[in-house]
Amino acid sequence: MKSAKWLAALPVAAFFSGGWLSSVAPTFVLGMPFLMVWNVSWLVLTSLIMVVIDRAEGDIDAPSSSSSSSTGGAR
C-alpha cells in the first residue's frame, strides 16, 4: 500500500505549524508551555505513524515463500 507513505508528511506539517498555532492557543496546557506540549505530543504520534506505515508496507525484504531452498532446511 503506497498511500501509507503519505502519512509521513503529517508530522512534518505538524511540527512546522506548531509555531503558528501557539500564537492563537492558550499559553499553558497542563502546566506546561503550549509549544512544548505540541512538540512532545507529535514526537509520540510520529512514532505511532511510523509503526502504521511499517505495518502497511509489510516486510519488503523478506524472501517469498515460493523461493524456499531445496536443501530441506539443513544448514
pLDDT in tens, 28-74: 888 889 888 989 999 999 999 998 888 887 766 666 665 555 555 56
Q: How far apart are CA 66 and CA 75, in angstroms?
A: 19
Q: What is the pLDDT of residue 56?
A: 84
Highest-confidence segment of 5-9, 21-25, 39-43: 39-43
Q: What is the pLDDT of residue 15?
A: 86
Q: What is the pLDDT of residue 63?
A: 66
pTM above 0.75, yes or no: no
Question: Using an 8 Å Cβ cutoff, are 22 and 34 in contact?
Answer: yes
